[in-house]
Structure 1
Amino acid sequence: MMKKIWIFISLLLLPSLLPLKALQAKELSQYTAIRVQKASQFAQDEKLKEAIETLSAMELSKEYDKAFVARMLGVYHWQNSDTKSAIKELTYAVDSGLLLDEQAWITQRMLADVLLNEQRFKTALPHYYALVKYAPETEKIDLLWMRIAQAEYQIGNWSNVLKAISKRDKLKPEPDLAPLSLKLGSQLQLKQWKQAIPTLESLIVLQPEKTNWWRQLVGLQLRLNQNRAALNTLALADLQGVELSDSDRRLTAQLYAKRGIPERAAQELSKLSNAHTDVQLLAEQATYWQLAREWDTSIKVWEMASKYNAKYHWNVAQLMVQQGYYQEALVELDKVKQKEKQADVALAKVRSWYKLKELENALIHAKRAEGIEASTEAKGWIKYLTQLRRIDTSS
């Protein structure tokens, strides 16, 4: 729901405050002028009810008098919180066409604002369009175009919103939150993704702390396949202290991974709220560290994952063997219980025992691997280790 639009009544909208001679100069009959002055005095004394009753009781014959009094009644009804009656009287005054140019413009402006405030957008719009067409030079037309944009937005005329904002921006080019927000909403409704990006960038300049602007910008950049730009936006938001959610961090990690920077992907995942308790997240981090060739860090994270799921002991053991931590690897290999991994486990133990110069144990596990699942690798180890043992025995 739109916030209430404050309506400011200029002195020109309160002709009842003018002296009697001034009223007569505007062609009011003497009968009307006298009663208008009386109603004006009531209004000044904050007796709106009496002011309204005085004007409503008048029997008028001249059309100009009727229009003049209708305008005053509209003002008083509005001040008395009787919006329905205010709209009725102001509409009559405007439609009469009998008020002087400046009087007519100000009256129509008040009518348009009251209608907008009452969310009668379609009824308010013709008045606003007329107002910008014939506005006095002293009026701030940019505010009227803003009112038009607000009304058009409420009834879903997105193209008209953009036209009105464009007119407003020509008169007042300084970036402002309200017109930019209307512009963005309309551009998104019209699927003008590319045009919406600079709008969001302007909003971010005005409200850099608002996470939603950053997220929407990233979303548009991804929609346009601007992955590098999306990553830069997320990185800049983080750098400026914007509070990123877990989903934002996960997206950042994915984008770093796509750019071939796995260590940054792992770092982003490590910032998630459940980064050290969610086994899947731990496995993802360990994989990224492994891709980054940060072997020791990867081992450490795989070990954390193995505490939650025993299947990851195999990942730990493989890297330990690869990095030459053979004694530790043998301990870890004993923890691998998956049946389908036992042949591979035995071969890994062969390599570890061999590197530790324990040829007898290495040969035992080579034969065990061959017994579990015959393979060229197992046969090769058996042949090689048997020859080494013979050489050792003969020497």
Structure 2
Amino acid sequence: MNLSIRSIRRLFYNVGFFFSLLLFAYSSYAENLLPRSAVIVQKAQALQQEDELVEAIDLLRNYQSRAPYDRAFINRMLGVFYWQNEQPELAVDYLRQAVESGLLQDQQMQTTRRMLADLLLMQEEFQAALTIYLELVNTESEADSRQQLWLRISQSYFQLKQWTDVLSATDQYLNLDGAADRPLLVMRLGAQLELKRWQAALVSLDGLILLEPNETGWWRQSAGLQLLLEDQQQARATLALAYRNGVALTPDDLKTLAQLYLQTGVPEQAALLISEIPELQQDVDLLTMQAQLWQVAKEWQRAIDVWILATGIDNSLGWNLVRLYHQEQQFELALQALDNIAAEDQEQQERIELTRVQLLYRLKDYSQALHYARLANRKTESEQSRSWVELLQRKINNQSAS
């Protein structure tokens, strides 16, 4: 299963994804700042609250404090402001400086590292983000935060194509009562498919079908895996259920379902299903498929009706019609169908003439049959045409003698 970075990001990057960035309790740590630094921080915070981010950033950047803790605190603050100002690269730079200073207090450091990891993940620096997340999850005691960290870890592993680790991390998330929602199931499914764990992938697909019952792709992938596992009955049941539930199946899906009906011994249902494809009347391949299905079901007249439609599009298919008329002893109709077949070469012309001879013979029109047999023999002088001439001549002689 191929999922682009962009598509995975869409699953996770929303307002909530960076909620931790907004929980910036300036006042709880400002008491440790020098008085001048505290005044600058308060002014910057006021500007930020008035949506004057550029001014707030300029104020902080132009302020130079000699106190190491103050610089770390302001770098952290700049990281948040740059993120809010949609400058993620600069946000990463300043948050990294704040973390690397080692001067932030415990909870400050924890939330700052989390902000940095989230931004690194957004910037597609997956290994760097993962390293931080794995350190954080080992020190985090609060269940909800651990749950969200395992979700980020799962996403990082997914982007790094570490499929076994994706499954382990998502297991950790689920063990903390995390929701088996679409993003999580899509990641698990992708990893399971890459690892060829087909049965497990079917479980994930079942979950996705429950969440998105009208999503054709989940039904199609489920049936495809069942076919891979050589479970044709279950694949048929899956697609049939999707069809009954009104899922928007494509013509190819319907053809697959029809083939499954045929392979599992229900050709009549397969032929009826083909009738549901809107393009049927204009698609000679579909008409051919349906006619053949009716033949397998021994529904000869229905097969004839469909072959008539197919022959109207491609007269070379008329031979199927001739054969069925012959089989059903409708010899006059077989002759009419034969008249509509255009010979493309001498060999096919002989075939047409000899088939006409055979049909006339079955109608006991021996004189006409002899005429066409002689015509065929003059053109090709084949063993078959000579045999017909001799047979028909004897028939006519015997009738005259009697």
TM over 0.5: yes
Residues 1-395 of structure 1 aligned to structure 2 (within 5 Å): 1=6, 2-3=9-10, 4-6=13-15, 7-9=18-20, 13-15=24-26, 17-18=27-28, 23-24=30-31, 27-137=32-142, 139-332=144-337, 338-353=349-364, 361=365, 363-364=366-367, 373=384
User: Normalized against structure 1, the TM-score is what?
Assistant: 0.80
Amino acid at match of 1:149: S
Bigger CA drift: 368-377 or 158-167? 368-377
Letter in 2 for 1:301: V
Deviation at 1:182, TM superposition (A): 1.6
Amino acid at match of 1:151: S
Unpaired segments ≥5 residues, structure 1: 354-360
Q: Is the CA contact (8 Å cut-off) linking 1:5 and 1:117 kept in structure 2?
A: no
Contact 2:236 2:261 in 1 (8 A): yes
Cα shift readout 1:288-332 (whole Å, capped 9, x = no counterpart): 212211111112122223333444444334433443445544544
CA displacement, residues 110-169 of structure 1 (integer Å, 9 cap, x when unaligned): 111222222222222212222222224164322222222223323333333222222222
1:98–1:324 CA distance, 2 compared to 1 (3 A): same
Identity %: 36
Whole-angstrom distance in 2 between the partners of 1:45 and 1:366: 101
Provide the alpha-carbon RMSD of the alignment.
3.4
Cα displacement string for residues 323-356 of structure 1 (whole angstroms, at most 9, x for unaligned residues): 3445544544555674214334323333334xxx
More off after superposition, 294-303 vs 270-279: 270-279
- Structure 2: tracts of 5 or more residues without a match: 1-5, 344-348, 378-383
Aligned to 2:381: none
Aligned residues: 377
Quick one: distance in 2 between partners of 1:305 and 1:171? 60
TM-score of the superposed pair, with normalisation by structure 2? 0.79
Which structure has the bigger radius of gyration? 1
**What is aligned with 1:357?**
none
Output the CA distance in 2 between the equivalents of 1:36 and 1:279.
Answer: 76
> Contact 1:209–1:242 (CA<8 Å) still a contact in 2?
yes
